[in-house]
Structure 1
Protein backbone atom coordinates (compact mmCIF):
# COMPACT_ATOMS: atom_id res chain seq x y z
CA UNK A 1 0.00 0.00 0.00
CA UNK A 2 1.39 3.44 -0.95
CA UNK A 3 1.87 6.29 1.52
CA UNK A 4 -1.04 8.17 -0.09
CA UNK A 5 -3.32 5.15 0.27
CA UNK A 6 -2.24 4.81 3.91
CA UNK A 7 -3.03 8.48 4.50
CA UNK A 8 -6.51 8.14 3.04
CA UNK A 9 -7.12 4.94 5.00
CA UNK A 10 -6.02 6.62 8.23
CA UNK A 11 -8.26 9.61 7.54
CA UNK A 12 -11.21 7.26 7.05
CA UNK A 13 -10.46 5.60 10.39
CA UNK A 14 -10.23 8.97 12.12
CA UNK A 15 -13.55 10.09 10.61
CA UNK A 16 -15.18 6.88 11.81
CA UNK A 17 -13.69 7.28 15.29
CA UNK A 18 -14.97 10.86 15.45
CA UNK A 19 -18.44 9.78 14.28
CA UNK A 20 -18.29 12.04 11.23
CA UNK A 21 -20.00 10.79 8.07
CA UNK A 22 -19.14 11.92 4.56
CA UNK A 23 -22.30 14.05 4.66
CA UNK A 24 -21.21 15.81 7.86
CA UNK A 25 -17.70 16.28 6.51
CA UNK A 26 -19.11 17.80 3.31
CA UNK A 27 -20.99 20.35 5.40
CA UNK A 28 -17.88 21.26 7.37
CA UNK A 29 -15.85 21.63 4.18
CA UNK A 30 -18.69 23.42 2.39
CA UNK A 31 -18.57 21.08 -0.60
CA UNK A 32 -20.95 18.49 -2.05
CA UNK A 33 -21.10 15.05 -0.41
CA UNK A 34 -20.44 13.48 -3.82
CA UNK A 35 -17.17 15.43 -4.00
CA UNK A 36 -16.11 14.03 -0.64
CA UNK A 37 -16.94 10.48 -1.71
CA UNK A 38 -15.08 10.90 -5.00
CA UNK A 39 -12.09 12.43 -3.20
CA UNK A 40 -11.77 9.46 -0.81
CA UNK A 41 -12.49 6.90 -3.53
CA UNK A 42 -9.73 8.23 -5.79
CA UNK A 43 -7.39 9.02 -2.91
CA UNK A 44 -6.57 12.27 -4.67
CA UNK A 45 -6.55 15.31 -2.40
CA UNK A 46 -4.15 18.27 -2.04
CA UNK A 47 -2.44 18.92 1.30
CA UNK A 48 -4.69 21.94 1.82
CA UNK A 49 -7.72 19.60 1.69
CA UNK A 50 -6.04 17.13 4.07
CA UNK A 51 -5.36 20.01 6.45
CA UNK A 52 -9.00 21.12 6.22
CA UNK A 53 -10.20 17.59 7.03
CA UNK A 54 -7.84 17.46 10.02
CA UNK A 55 -9.30 20.74 11.26
CA UNK A 56 -12.82 19.36 10.81
CA UNK A 57 -12.08 16.35 13.02
CA UNK A 58 -9.83 18.33 15.41
CA UNK A 59 -6.73 16.32 14.54
CA UNK A 60 -3.30 17.91 14.29
CA UNK A 61 -1.60 17.20 10.96
CA UNK A 62 1.57 16.08 12.75
CA UNK A 63 -0.50 13.53 14.69
CA UNK A 64 -2.02 12.31 11.42
CA UNK A 65 1.42 11.90 9.87
CA UNK A 66 2.58 9.97 12.94
CA UNK A 67 -0.42 7.65 12.77
CA UNK A 68 0.19 7.04 9.08
CA UNK A 69 3.80 6.16 9.87
CA UNK A 70 2.70 3.87 12.70
CA UNK A 71 0.37 2.03 10.34
CA UNK A 72 3.21 1.09 7.99
CA UNK A 73 4.12 -2.63 8.02
CA UNK A 74 7.17 -3.36 10.16
CA UNK A 75 10.20 -5.03 8.63
CA UNK A 76 10.90 -8.65 9.52
CA UNK A 77 14.14 -8.56 7.54
CA UNK A 78 16.34 -5.92 5.89
CA UNK A 79 17.26 -5.98 2.23
CA UNK A 80 20.76 -7.00 1.21
CA UNK A 81 21.55 -3.37 0.36
CA UNK A 82 20.36 -2.18 3.77
CA UNK A 83 22.49 -4.72 5.61
CA UNK A 84 25.54 -3.87 3.48
CA UNK A 85 25.11 -0.19 4.36
CA UNK A 86 24.80 -0.96 8.08
CA UNK A 87 27.82 -3.24 8.29
CA UNK A 88 30.04 -0.98 6.15
CA UNK A 89 30.39 1.50 9.04
CA UNK A 90 31.26 -0.01 12.44
CA UNK A 91 29.81 2.96 14.34
CA UNK A 92 26.59 2.71 12.33
CA UNK A 93 26.42 -1.02 13.11
CA UNK A 94 26.93 -0.26 16.80
CA UNK A 95 24.14 2.34 16.84
CA UNK A 96 21.89 -0.02 14.85
CA UNK A 97 22.35 -2.69 17.52
CA UNK A 98 21.74 -0.08 20.22
CA UNK A 99 18.43 1.01 18.67
CA UNK A 100 17.38 -2.63 18.48
CA UNK A 101 17.70 -2.50 22.27
CA UNK A 102 15.79 0.83 22.32
CA UNK A 103 18.73 2.79 23.69
CA UNK A 104 18.45 6.58 23.80
CA UNK A 105 21.08 8.91 22.40
CA UNK A 106 22.14 9.69 25.95
CA UNK A 107 22.64 6.01 26.76
CA UNK A 108 24.79 5.47 23.66
CA UNK A 109 27.08 8.43 24.36
CA UNK A 110 27.37 7.42 28.02
CA UNK A 111 28.42 3.87 27.17
CA UNK A 112 30.62 4.44 24.08
CA UNK A 113 33.21 6.94 22.88
CA UNK A 114 30.81 8.70 20.54
CA UNK A 115 29.61 12.29 20.84
CA UNK A 116 26.08 13.57 20.17
CA UNK A 117 26.89 14.63 16.61
CA UNK A 118 28.24 11.18 15.71
CA UNK A 119 25.23 9.35 17.13
CA UNK A 120 22.76 11.76 15.50
CA UNK A 121 24.54 11.22 12.17
CA UNK A 122 24.08 7.45 12.58
CA UNK A 123 20.43 7.87 13.59
CA UNK A 124 19.86 9.98 10.49
CA UNK A 125 21.43 7.26 8.33
CA UNK A 126 19.25 4.59 9.96
CA UNK A 127 16.22 6.79 9.25
CA UNK A 128 17.21 7.05 5.57
CA UNK A 129 17.65 3.28 5.46
CA UNK A 130 14.10 2.82 6.78
CA UNK A 131 15.19 1.10 9.99
CA UNK A 132 13.90 3.83 12.29
CA UNK A 133 11.70 6.89 12.03
CA UNK A 134 13.68 9.75 13.54
CA UNK A 135 11.51 12.10 15.61
CA UNK A 136 12.05 15.46 17.35
CA UNK A 137 14.61 15.65 20.18
CA UNK A 138 16.48 12.72 18.60
CA UNK A 139 13.86 10.21 19.68
CA UNK A 140 12.89 7.51 17.22
CA UNK A 141 10.40 4.78 16.40
CA UNK A 142 11.83 1.40 15.48
CA UNK A 143 10.39 0.18 12.17
CA UNK A 144 11.34 -3.46 12.72
CA UNK A 145 8.91 -6.21 13.64
CA UNK A 146 9.22 -8.20 16.87
CA UNK A 147 10.08 -11.17 14.66
CA UNK A 148 12.93 -9.24 13.01
CA UNK A 149 16.07 -11.21 12.26
CA UNK A 150 19.24 -10.53 10.30
CA UNK A 151 19.50 -12.28 6.94
CA UNK A 152 20.75 -15.84 7.48
CA UNK A 153 23.61 -15.46 4.99
CA UNK A 154 23.66 -11.67 4.87
CA UNK A 155 26.41 -9.14 5.63
CA UNK A 156 25.58 -8.72 9.33
CA UNK A 157 25.61 -12.44 10.12
CA UNK A 158 28.77 -12.73 8.02
CA UNK A 159 30.38 -10.03 10.16
CA UNK A 160 29.19 -11.83 13.30
CA UNK A 161 30.64 -15.16 12.18
CA UNK A 162 33.97 -13.57 11.26
CA UNK A 163 34.46 -11.20 14.19
CA UNK A 164 32.14 -12.06 17.06
CA UNK A 165 31.50 -15.79 17.25
CA UNK A 166 34.87 -16.76 18.74
CA UNK A 167 34.74 -13.81 21.14
CA UNK A 168 31.23 -14.77 22.27
CA UNK A 169 32.08 -18.41 23.01
CA UNK A 170 35.35 -17.43 24.70
CA UNK A 171 33.29 -16.38 27.74
CA UNK A 172 33.14 -18.67 30.74
CA UNK A 173 29.33 -18.93 30.87
CA UNK A 174 29.88 -19.70 34.57
CA UNK A 175 27.71 -17.07 36.25
CA UNK A 176 24.35 -18.13 37.63
CA UNK A 177 22.63 -15.92 35.04
CA UNK A 178 24.59 -17.46 32.14
CA UNK A 179 24.39 -20.81 30.42
CA UNK A 180 26.05 -22.72 27.62
CA UNK A 181 24.55 -26.09 26.73
CA UNK A 182 25.71 -28.35 23.91
CA UNK A 183 23.45 -31.29 23.12
CA UNK A 184 23.93 -33.75 20.30
CA UNK A 185 21.44 -36.42 19.33
CA UNK A 186 19.57 -38.08 16.49
CA UNK A 187 15.83 -37.44 16.45
CA UNK A 188 12.97 -37.83 14.01
CA UNK A 189 13.23 -35.40 11.09
CA UNK A 190 9.54 -34.60 11.55
CA UNK A 191 10.19 -33.41 15.14
CA UNK A 192 13.13 -31.14 14.32
CA UNK A 193 10.90 -28.23 13.19
CA UNK A 194 9.04 -28.48 16.53
CA UNK A 195 12.26 -27.86 18.44
CA UNK A 196 13.15 -24.99 16.12
CA UNK A 197 9.75 -23.42 16.85
CA UNK A 198 10.38 -23.75 20.58
CA UNK A 199 13.71 -21.99 20.22
CA UNK A 200 12.03 -19.20 18.26
CA UNK A 201 9.46 -18.81 21.04
CA UNK A 202 12.25 -18.47 23.60
CA UNK A 203 13.82 -15.75 21.45
CA UNK A 204 10.46 -13.99 21.17
CA UNK A 205 9.91 -14.21 24.93
CA UNK A 206 13.35 -12.68 25.47
CA UNK A 207 12.57 -9.83 23.04
CA UNK A 208 9.19 -9.14 24.67
CA UNK A 209 10.74 -9.10 28.13
CA UNK A 210 13.32 -6.65 26.85
CA UNK A 211 10.52 -4.35 25.72
CA UNK A 212 8.64 -4.71 29.01
CA UNK A 213 11.73 -3.91 31.09
CA UNK A 214 12.51 -0.64 29.30
CA UNK A 215 10.72 1.20 32.11
CA UNK A 216 13.17 -0.13 34.72
CA UNK A 217 16.07 1.96 35.93
CA UNK A 218 19.52 1.24 34.51
CA UNK A 219 20.68 -0.15 37.86
CA UNK A 220 18.10 -2.94 37.58
CA UNK A 221 19.06 -4.07 34.06
CA UNK A 222 22.02 -5.69 32.38
CA UNK A 223 22.73 -6.38 28.74
CA UNK A 224 22.58 -9.99 27.60
CA UNK A 225 23.00 -11.64 24.22
CA UNK A 226 20.84 -14.70 23.65
CA UNK A 227 22.23 -16.97 20.94
CA UNK A 228 20.06 -19.90 19.85
CA UNK A 229 21.00 -22.36 17.15
CA UNK A 230 20.08 -25.77 15.85
CA UNK A 231 21.27 -27.44 12.67
CA UNK A 232 22.26 -30.78 11.23
CA UNK A 233 25.98 -30.57 11.88
CA UNK A 234 29.05 -32.57 12.78
CA UNK A 235 32.49 -31.32 13.75
CA UNK A 236 34.78 -31.25 10.72
CA UNK A 237 37.40 -33.34 12.54
CA UNK A 238 34.76 -36.04 13.07
CA UNK A 239 33.50 -35.85 9.49
CA UNK A 240 37.00 -36.65 8.26
CA UNK A 241 36.89 -39.91 10.22
CA UNK A 242 33.64 -41.09 8.63
CA UNK A 243 33.75 -44.17 6.41
Structure 2
Protein backbone atom coordinates (compact mmCIF):
# COMPACT_ATOMS: atom_id res chain seq x y z
CA UNK A 1 0.00 0.00 0.00
CA UNK A 2 1.42 3.40 -0.99
CA UNK A 3 2.10 6.01 1.68
CA UNK A 4 -0.40 8.45 0.15
CA UNK A 5 -3.18 5.86 0.43
CA UNK A 6 -2.16 5.12 4.03
CA UNK A 7 -2.40 8.85 4.81
CA UNK A 8 -5.92 9.08 3.34
CA UNK A 9 -7.08 5.92 5.15
CA UNK A 10 -5.70 7.20 8.46
CA UNK A 11 -7.29 10.61 7.92
CA UNK A 12 -10.68 9.00 7.24
CA UNK A 13 -10.35 6.98 10.45
CA UNK A 14 -9.54 10.14 12.43
CA UNK A 15 -12.52 11.99 10.98
CA UNK A 16 -14.85 9.06 11.70
CA UNK A 17 -13.59 8.81 15.29
CA UNK A 18 -14.29 12.52 15.80
CA UNK A 19 -17.73 12.32 14.20
CA UNK A 20 -16.72 14.58 11.30
CA UNK A 21 -18.64 13.80 8.10
CA UNK A 22 -17.89 14.57 4.44
CA UNK A 23 -20.45 17.37 4.53
CA UNK A 24 -18.54 19.00 7.42
CA UNK A 25 -15.28 18.80 5.46
CA UNK A 26 -17.01 20.21 2.38
CA UNK A 27 -18.33 23.22 4.32
CA UNK A 28 -14.91 23.80 5.90
CA UNK A 29 -13.25 23.83 2.46
CA UNK A 30 -16.13 25.64 0.72
CA UNK A 31 -16.54 22.72 -1.69
CA UNK A 32 -19.35 20.37 -2.64
CA UNK A 33 -19.77 17.12 -0.72
CA UNK A 34 -19.52 15.11 -3.96
CA UNK A 35 -16.14 16.69 -4.75
CA UNK A 36 -14.83 15.82 -1.29
CA UNK A 37 -16.02 12.22 -1.60
CA UNK A 38 -14.37 11.93 -5.02
CA UNK A 39 -11.04 13.27 -3.74
CA UNK A 40 -11.05 10.89 -0.78
CA UNK A 41 -11.95 7.96 -3.05
CA UNK A 42 -9.24 8.82 -5.58
CA UNK A 43 -6.71 9.70 -2.88
CA UNK A 44 -6.11 13.00 -4.64
CA UNK A 45 -6.00 15.69 -1.93
CA UNK A 46 -3.63 18.64 -2.21
CA UNK A 47 -1.28 19.50 0.64
CA UNK A 48 -3.08 22.78 1.36
CA UNK A 49 -6.46 21.02 1.61
CA UNK A 50 -4.92 18.28 3.71
CA UNK A 51 -3.70 20.95 6.15
CA UNK A 52 -7.18 22.47 6.37
CA UNK A 53 -8.83 19.08 6.95
CA UNK A 54 -6.31 18.31 9.69
CA UNK A 55 -7.11 21.70 11.23
CA UNK A 56 -10.81 20.78 11.23
CA UNK A 57 -9.89 17.57 13.08
CA UNK A 58 -7.87 19.51 15.66
CA UNK A 59 -4.47 18.29 14.52
CA UNK A 60 -1.70 19.19 12.08
CA UNK A 61 -0.04 17.22 9.29
CA UNK A 62 2.84 16.19 11.56
CA UNK A 63 0.31 14.54 13.92
CA UNK A 64 -1.30 12.76 10.97
CA UNK A 65 2.02 11.46 9.64
CA UNK A 66 2.93 10.25 13.12
CA UNK A 67 -0.34 8.31 13.25
CA UNK A 68 0.44 6.75 9.86
CA UNK A 69 3.86 5.67 11.10
CA UNK A 70 2.45 4.26 14.33
CA UNK A 71 -0.21 2.30 12.45
CA UNK A 72 2.47 0.64 10.36
CA UNK A 73 4.07 -0.54 13.63
CA UNK A 74 0.85 -1.47 15.39
CA UNK A 75 0.38 -4.83 17.01
CA UNK A 76 -2.43 -7.06 15.75
CA UNK A 77 -2.14 -9.82 18.35
CA UNK A 78 0.01 -11.04 21.23
CA UNK A 79 1.63 -14.46 21.17
CA UNK A 80 0.32 -17.28 23.37
CA UNK A 81 3.40 -16.88 25.58
CA UNK A 82 2.80 -13.14 25.99
CA UNK A 83 -0.84 -13.73 26.90
CA UNK A 84 0.22 -16.32 29.47
CA UNK A 85 2.54 -13.71 30.97
CA UNK A 86 -0.37 -11.29 31.41
CA UNK A 87 -2.68 -13.93 32.87
CA UNK A 88 -0.02 -14.99 35.38
CA UNK A 89 0.28 -11.44 36.77
CA UNK A 90 -3.03 -9.81 37.77
CA UNK A 91 -1.42 -6.38 38.21
CA UNK A 92 0.15 -6.53 34.75
CA UNK A 93 -3.18 -7.64 33.27
CA UNK A 94 -4.98 -4.77 35.01
CA UNK A 95 -2.55 -2.18 33.66
CA UNK A 96 -2.69 -3.72 30.17
CA UNK A 97 -6.49 -3.53 30.07
CA UNK A 98 -6.34 0.03 31.45
CA UNK A 99 -3.99 1.31 28.74
CA UNK A 100 -5.98 -0.50 26.05
CA UNK A 101 -8.95 1.53 27.31
CA UNK A 102 -6.88 4.69 26.85
CA UNK A 103 -6.37 5.52 30.53
CA UNK A 104 -3.48 7.86 31.27
CA UNK A 105 -0.72 7.23 33.79
CA UNK A 106 -2.33 9.74 36.15
CA UNK A 107 -5.74 8.08 35.88
CA UNK A 108 -4.37 4.58 36.53
CA UNK A 109 -2.39 5.90 39.51
CA UNK A 110 -5.44 7.73 40.92
CA UNK A 111 -7.79 4.76 40.55
CA UNK A 112 -5.66 1.79 41.53
CA UNK A 113 -3.43 1.12 44.51
CA UNK A 114 -0.01 1.34 42.83
CA UNK A 115 3.05 3.25 43.88
CA UNK A 116 4.50 5.24 40.99
CA UNK A 117 7.74 3.18 40.68
CA UNK A 118 5.69 -0.04 40.59
CA UNK A 119 3.34 1.35 37.95
CA UNK A 120 6.27 2.49 35.81
CA UNK A 121 7.83 -0.97 36.12
CA UNK A 122 4.59 -2.60 34.93
CA UNK A 123 4.33 -0.18 32.00
CA UNK A 124 7.91 -0.96 31.00
CA UNK A 125 6.98 -4.64 30.88
CA UNK A 126 4.14 -3.78 28.50
CA UNK A 127 6.54 -1.71 26.41
CA UNK A 128 8.87 -4.72 26.20
CA UNK A 129 6.15 -6.73 24.43
CA UNK A 130 5.35 -3.76 22.13
CA UNK A 131 1.90 -3.16 23.60
CA UNK A 132 2.71 0.46 24.45
CA UNK A 133 5.38 3.10 24.19
CA UNK A 134 6.21 4.87 27.45
CA UNK A 135 7.19 8.43 26.63
CA UNK A 136 8.71 11.24 28.73
CA UNK A 137 6.59 12.44 31.67
CA UNK A 138 4.99 8.98 31.73
CA UNK A 139 2.88 9.61 28.65
CA UNK A 140 1.48 6.33 27.31
CA UNK A 141 1.09 5.60 23.60
CA UNK A 142 -0.70 2.36 22.76
CA UNK A 143 0.80 0.45 19.84
CA UNK A 144 -2.12 -1.82 18.97
CA UNK A 145 -4.26 -1.59 15.86
CA UNK A 146 -8.01 -1.05 15.91
CA UNK A 147 -8.35 -4.67 14.81
CA UNK A 148 -6.25 -5.93 17.74
CA UNK A 149 -7.73 -9.05 19.29
CA UNK A 150 -6.77 -11.68 21.82
CA UNK A 151 -5.81 -15.17 20.67
CA UNK A 152 -8.89 -17.24 19.86
CA UNK A 153 -9.43 -19.62 22.80
CA UNK A 154 -6.11 -18.36 24.16
CA UNK A 155 -5.11 -17.61 27.77
CA UNK A 156 -6.73 -14.14 27.88
CA UNK A 157 -9.99 -15.27 26.30
CA UNK A 158 -10.27 -18.24 28.65
CA UNK A 159 -9.46 -15.98 31.61
CA UNK A 160 -12.32 -13.61 30.81
CA UNK A 161 -14.72 -16.43 29.92
CA UNK A 162 -14.20 -17.96 33.36
CA UNK A 163 -14.99 -14.64 35.01
CA UNK A 164 -17.98 -14.07 32.71
CA UNK A 165 -19.49 -17.39 33.77
CA UNK A 166 -18.70 -16.92 37.47
CA UNK A 167 -19.34 -13.21 37.94
CA UNK A 168 -20.78 -11.39 34.93
CA UNK A 169 -24.03 -13.37 34.81
CA UNK A 170 -24.41 -13.29 38.60
CA UNK A 171 -26.71 -10.32 38.15
CA UNK A 172 -30.40 -9.52 37.61
CA UNK A 173 -29.58 -6.97 34.85
CA UNK A 174 -32.14 -4.51 36.20
CA UNK A 175 -29.92 -1.52 36.99
CA UNK A 176 -28.99 1.50 34.87
CA UNK A 177 -26.75 0.56 31.96
CA UNK A 178 -27.67 -3.14 32.17
CA UNK A 179 -29.62 -5.17 29.62
CA UNK A 180 -30.14 -8.89 29.10
CA UNK A 181 -32.23 -10.40 26.32
CA UNK A 182 -32.74 -14.14 25.96
CA UNK A 183 -34.64 -15.32 22.89
CA UNK A 184 -35.51 -18.88 21.96
CA UNK A 185 -36.85 -20.16 18.66
CA UNK A 186 -36.22 -22.52 15.76
CA UNK A 187 -34.06 -21.23 12.90
CA UNK A 188 -33.02 -22.68 9.58
CA UNK A 189 -29.32 -22.95 8.72
CA UNK A 190 -29.62 -19.87 6.51
CA UNK A 191 -31.24 -17.80 9.24
CA UNK A 192 -28.60 -18.94 11.72
CA UNK A 193 -25.87 -17.73 9.34
CA UNK A 194 -27.70 -14.41 8.94
CA UNK A 195 -27.69 -13.98 12.72
CA UNK A 196 -23.95 -14.70 12.79
CA UNK A 197 -23.35 -11.82 10.37
CA UNK A 198 -25.57 -9.46 12.36
CA UNK A 199 -23.87 -10.41 15.63
CA UNK A 200 -20.42 -9.76 14.13
CA UNK A 201 -21.64 -6.37 12.90
CA UNK A 202 -22.98 -5.54 16.36
CA UNK A 203 -19.59 -6.45 17.86
CA UNK A 204 -17.92 -4.14 15.33
CA UNK A 205 -20.36 -1.37 16.29
CA UNK A 206 -19.30 -1.82 19.92
CA UNK A 207 -15.62 -1.53 18.96
CA UNK A 208 -16.32 1.56 16.84
CA UNK A 209 -18.12 3.29 19.71
CA UNK A 210 -15.34 2.41 22.16
CA UNK A 211 -12.81 3.89 19.73
CA UNK A 212 -14.93 7.01 19.27
CA UNK A 213 -15.27 7.47 23.05
CA UNK A 214 -11.61 6.93 23.90
CA UNK A 215 -10.90 10.65 24.24
CA UNK A 216 -13.85 11.26 26.57
CA UNK A 217 -12.79 11.74 30.18
CA UNK A 218 -12.52 8.61 32.30
CA UNK A 219 -15.21 9.83 34.71
CA UNK A 220 -17.70 9.85 31.84
CA UNK A 221 -16.85 6.34 30.59
CA UNK A 222 -17.75 3.02 32.16
CA UNK A 223 -16.12 -0.37 31.80
CA UNK A 224 -18.63 -2.28 29.68
CA UNK A 225 -18.79 -5.88 28.52
CA UNK A 226 -20.97 -7.16 25.70
CA UNK A 227 -21.55 -10.92 25.51
CA UNK A 228 -23.35 -12.29 22.45
CA UNK A 229 -23.85 -15.97 21.71
CA UNK A 230 -25.98 -18.21 19.57
CA UNK A 231 -25.97 -21.97 19.06
CA UNK A 232 -28.39 -24.81 18.35
CA UNK A 233 -29.47 -25.79 21.86
CA UNK A 234 -32.37 -27.29 23.76
CA UNK A 235 -32.96 -27.41 27.50
CA UNK A 236 -31.72 -30.77 28.86
CA UNK A 237 -34.99 -31.07 30.80
CA UNK A 238 -36.84 -31.16 27.47
CA UNK A 239 -34.63 -33.90 26.03
CA UNK A 240 -35.69 -36.39 28.67
CA UNK A 241 -39.23 -36.36 27.26
CA UNK A 242 -38.24 -37.14 23.66
CA UNK A 243 -39.50 -40.45 22.30
CA UNK A 244 -36.22 -40.93 20.44
CA UNK A 245 -32.75 -39.47 20.93
CA UNK A 246 -32.24 -36.23 19.04
CA UNK A 247 -29.77 -37.18 16.29
CA UNK A 248 -30.39 -34.10 14.17
CA UNK A 249 -27.02 -32.61 13.10
CA UNK A 250 -26.73 -28.89 12.33
CA UNK A 251 -25.65 -28.38 8.71
Q: TM-score band (shorter)?
A: 0.5 to 0.7
Aligned residue number for residue 85 of structure 1? 85
Q: Which stretch shifts more, 196-205 or 164-173? A: 196-205
Q: Is the 8 A contact 2:71 2:145 kept in 1?
A: no
Asked whether 1:105 is paired with 2:105, we answer yes
Q: Which stretch shifts more, 113-122 or 225-234? A: 225-234
Residue-pair matches, total: 187
Structural RMSD (CA): 3.3
The change in CA–CA distance for 1:202 and 1:137 in structure 2 (over 3 A counts) is farther
Q: Which TM-score applies when normalising by structure 1?
A: 0.64
Q: Which has the larger radius of gyration?
A: 1
Q: Quote the offset at 1:228 in angstroms.
A: 2.2
The change in CA–CA distance for 1:142 and 1:218 in structure 2 (over 3 A counts) is closer
Q: Quote the offset at 1:117 in angstroms.
A: 1.8
Aligned residue number for residue 17 of structure 2? none
Q: Is the 8 A contact 1:87 1:155 kept in 2?
A: yes
The change in CA–CA distance for 1:128 and 1:169 in structure 2 (over 3 A counts) is same
Aligned residue number for residue 225 of structure 1? 225
Q: Quote the offset at 1:206 in angstroms.
A: 2.1
Q: Structure 1, residues 194-226: CA drift from partner, whole Å, max 9, x if none?
A: 322322222222222223223333443322222
Asked whether 1:72 is paired with 2:79, we answer no
Structure 1: 5+ residue runs without aligned partners?
1-8, 14-62
Q: Quote the offset at 1:237 in angstroms.
A: 6.0
Q: Which TM-score applies when normalising by structure 2?
A: 0.62
Q: Quote the offset at 1:69 in angstroms.
A: 4.8
The change in CA–CA distance for 1:190 and 1:73 in structure 2 (over 3 A counts) is farther
Aligned residue number for residue 195 of structure 1? 195
Q: Quote the offset at 1:234 in angstroms.
A: 4.7
**Cα distance in 2 between the residues matched to 1:134 and 1:193:** 43
Q: Which stretch shifts more, 226-235 or 163-172? A: 226-235
**Cα distance in 2 between the residues matched to 1:208 and 1:171:** 27
Q: Quote the offset at 1:125 in angstroms.
A: 1.1
The change in CA–CA distance for 1:165 and 1:108 in structure 2 (over 3 A counts) is farther
Structure 2: 5+ residue runs without aligned partners?
7-62, 246-251
The change in CA–CA distance for 1:145 and 1:217 in structure 2 (over 3 A counts) is closer
Q: Is the 8 A contact 1:105 1:116 kept in 2?
A: no
Structure of higher RCO (CA pairs closer than 8 Å, 6+ residues apart) = 2
Q: Quote the offset at 1:142 in angstroms.
A: 2.1
Q: Quote the offset at 1:122 in angstroms.
A: 1.6
Q: Structure 1, residues 70-100: CA drift from partner, whole Å, max 9, x if none?
A: 1425333322112111111110111111112
1:175-190 correspondence to structure 2 within 5 Å: 175-190=175-190
**Cα distance in 2 between the residues matched to 1:96 and 1:240:** 46
The change in CA–CA distance for 1:111 and 1:153 in structure 2 (over 3 A counts) is same
**Cα distance in 1 between the residues matched to 2:178 and 2:235:** 24
